[in-house]
Amino acid sequence: MANSGHAAHEGHDDHHGAPKSFWQRWVVTTNHKDIGTLYLIFAGVMFFVGGLMALVIRAELFQPGLQFVDPMFFNSMTTMHALAMIFGAVMPAWVGLANWMIPLQVGAPDMALPRMNNFSFWIMPFAFTLLLSTLFTGSGAPAGGWTLYPPLSLQGGDSFPMAIFAIHMMGASSIMGAINVIVTIMNMRAPGMTLLRMPLFCWTWLITAYLLILVMPVLAGAVTMLLTDHFFGTSFFSAAGGGDPVMYQHIFWFFGHPEVYILILPAFGVVSEIIPAFSRKPLFGYESMVYASASIGFLSFIVWAHHMFTVGMPLAGQLFFMLTTMLIAVPTGVKVFNWSATMWKGSLSFEPPMLFAVAFLFLFTIGGFSGLMLSIVPADFQYQDSYFVVAHFHYVLVPGAIFAIMAGIYYWLPKWSGHMYNMSLAKWHFWLSTIFVNVLFFPQHFLGLAGMPRRIPDYSVQFADWNMVSSIGAFGFGLSQLLMPYLVWQCVRGGAAAKAKAWEGARGLEWEVPSPAPYHTWETAPDEATIIHASPTGH
């Protein structure tokens, strides 16, 4: 039903192609593939915008003393870097991949709500134009940290309401995207595509979508209370009026912790498809992977206060949040063991998607270890708000979430473009990224343990050495990323033709349609034999 409206023009005997006019194809489009492409391009642009901000930070931190920027602008950079990377790069990249792949993987002709899909994408450029334009207001961009803790965030000037409206818009877009994913997976699966025959990317995205719907309104509520505190004389977060600034932190992290799983759960899905494909062996423990993902989703709602152990909580509260946080190691461990068991007795080859997935496995696990260390409250008192935390969350987000996004792009690019890409260039991209990401973030563990707080523009000379190493890594990593857009551009323009099944060991319905995927796919649902043949477990 959903896409029969615009399918009425032209003949039905062949796959109807994409609309010719730019406006029709890229602006008012309701096609899940084009919207997916738009999301991915947007995410790529924001990745470089956020990356540029990171390089401003690392340039200033290259040596002690203030060389380039005012401390206030430095604070704006840390704040905007986080907002651009989380809401502008990683989340839209996942929504883009979901748009492209979920209908193909569940045998649906499109997303369930195509017009809303278009709307949820087009909110994003406006939201980020609003957010980035705060850089040009008299008082500068928001500088109170991406967490917008009051009372500090309330000291912001014109940028403060602008940032909050931008966050509202991003939240609305995310909620619409999440509704679309849930409705598509729940209602649009081809007959015979049972839930336990779905690829893990669909499963982890389904859980992610529920998390999004549950927590985005909480964020919206928290920032709206900031707004009324600032402009309408309420005092939700001001002790002088009977409020409590720590309450904001509780509300924020009730959103914020599920948010970090929103960023990483789809990564688990992508890696769970790539590792079996290049091990030429089905995923080990498919069902336990599904249950582990669901447990992680559930646990994400009862651990939030581990972000704020130093605010002074009752002992019982600290013990509760320490124990629940430690518990997350169990389902996460199950996942890592299942991936390891998938490679065991496989037949492994190391094409670019597999390289990124293997790096994910090692480096995300390192981020998991530092996460476990951070859960131990007495030790956390030493780690909290130090560079150790910075190292921890960058390990799970950069060689974690972002490497998984890159793995997914290298995995599905032949399906999208119909061409194979330059393998040796992609391998250069991989090796440079992997080396530099460690040069960049590993020394930050040492800095944090030695006592360097995060979000400072200048530091004592005892921290100079590792900061210099870290900055060299940052510039190396940043420059290496320029290879990827060049490679994608090259691949879209031409190259060796990709087979329908671009990778020998790949499984999933997306490999049952030609490469490039026709503009409209699965207008006739796949039959059950095809579904079973393509399912992760083969039955």
Partner 1 sequence: MLRKPGSLSAVAAFVAALAAPAAHADWALNMPRGVTTMSQQIYSLHMTIFWWCVAIAVFVFGWMITSLVKFRHSQGAVPDTQMLHSTKAEVIWTIIPVVILVILAIPAARTLIHLEDASGTQLTVKITGYQWKWQYEYLDKGVSYFSTLSRDSDAARQLQSGVDPKTIPDYLLSVDNPLVVPVGTKIRLLLTSQDVIHAWWVPDLAVKKDAIPGFVNEAWFEVQADKPGTYRGQCAELCGRDHGFMPIVVVAKTPAEFEAWLKTQQQASLPAAPNAG
Q: Determine the angle formed by the axes of helices 352-375 and 403-417, rounding to 10 degrees.
A: 150
Beta-carbon contacts of 6 under 8 Å, excluding residues fewer than 6 positions away, are 30
**Which residue number, 103 or 508, has a Cβ lying nearer to partner 1?**
508
- Cα 533 to Cα 101, 104, 287, 526, distances in angstroms: 18, 15, 18, 11
Subset of residues 88 to 117 that bind partner 1, contact rule: CB under 8 A: none
Contact residue for partner 1 among 466, 477, 503, 522 (CB under 8 A): 466
312: alpha, beta or left? (left if phi > 0; alpha if psi -120 to 50): left
Q: Is 149 in the site for partner 1 (CB under 8 A)?
A: yes
Shortest distance in whole angstroms from residue 413 CB to partner 1:
21
Among 1-9, 17-25, 83-91, 465-473, the segment contacting partner 1 (CB under 8 A):
465-473
CA 503 to chain centre: 25
Q: Does 157 bind partner 1 (CB under 8 A)?
A: no
- The nearest distance, CB 39 to partner 1, in angstroms, is 31
**Residue of 516, 506, 490 lying closest to 416 (CA atoms):** 516
Give, as ranges, the residues between 204 and 263 that touch partner 1 (CB under 8 A): 238-240, 244-246
Q: Within positions 28 to 67, which residues make up the interface with partner 1, using CB under 8 A?
A: 64-67
Give whichever of 231 and 362 is closer to partner 1, judged by the CB atom: 362
Q: Which is nearer to partner 1, 194 or 462 (CB)?
A: 462
Q: Within a 13 Å sphere around the CA of 263, how many CA atoms are in the beta-carbon half?
A: 25
Task: Rank residues 87 and 284 by Cβ distance to partner 1 and give the closer one.
Answer: 284
Task: Please tell me whether residue 446 binds partner 1 under the rule CB under 8 A.
Answer: yes
In whole angstroms, the minimum distance from the beta carbon of 454 to partner 1 comes to 8
Contact 271, 357 (CB under 8 A): yes
- Beta bridge partners of residue 497, listed in sequence order: 419
Answer whether 90's CB lies under 8 Å from 114's CB.
no
* CB of 253 vs partner 1, minimal distance in Å: 14
Report the alpha-carbon distance of residue 450 to residue 376 in Å, rounded. Answer: 18
d(C-alpha 415, C-alpha 400), whole Å: 24
Please report, as residue ranges, which positions from 294 to 313 form the binding site for partner 1 (by CB under 8 A): 310-312
Binding mask 327-356 for partner 1 (x = CB under 8 A): x-xx--xx-xx--xx-xxxxxxx-------
Nearer to partner 1, 183 or 326 (CB): 326
Looking at 53, 141, 176, 358, which residue binds partner 1 (CB under 8 A)? 358
Residue 429 host element (H or E): helix 423-450
Enumerate residues 381-440 that contact partner 1 by CB under 8 A.
381-382, 384-386, 431, 434-435, 438-439
Please select the residue that binds partner 1; options are 21, 155, 187, 228, rule is CB under 8 A: 155
Strand partners, 419: 497
Name residue, tokens 């590993």: 442
- Spatial separation of the C-alpha atoms in residues 175 and 185, rounded to whole Å: 15
Q: Which of 6, 16, 455, 520 binds partner 1 (CB under 8 A)?
A: 455
Q: Determine which residue in the list 3, 137, 224, 318 makes contact with partner 1, applying CB under 8 A.
A: 318
475 scored as a contact of partner 1 (CB under 8 A) = no
Least Å distance, CB 262 to partner 1, is: 24
Residue 96's identity, in one-letter code, is: G
Of the two residues 370 and 417, which places its CB atom closer to partner 1 in the complex? 370
The residue type found at 324 is T
Of the residues 70, 129, 228, 298, which one makes contact with partner 1 according to CB under 8 A: 70
Q: Given CA atoms 98, 87, 224, 325 in this order, what sign does their dihedral have?
A: positive
Strands (E), 129-243: none
Under 8 Å between Cβ of 209 and 262: no
CB atoms closer than 10 angstroms to residue 82: 18
For residues 43 and 266, the answer to whether their CB atoms sit within 8 Å is no
- Residue nearer to partner 1 on the CB measure, 146 or 410: 146
* Closer residue to partner 1 in complex, CB, 111/289: 289
Piece of 110-118, 250-258, 299-307, 464-472 that binds partner 1 (CB under 8 A): 464-472
Min dist. Cβ of residue 457 to partner 1 (A): 5
For the annotated catalytic residues, the residue numbers are 81, 110, 146, 173-174, 257, 259, 261, 272, 306-307, 332, 335, 454
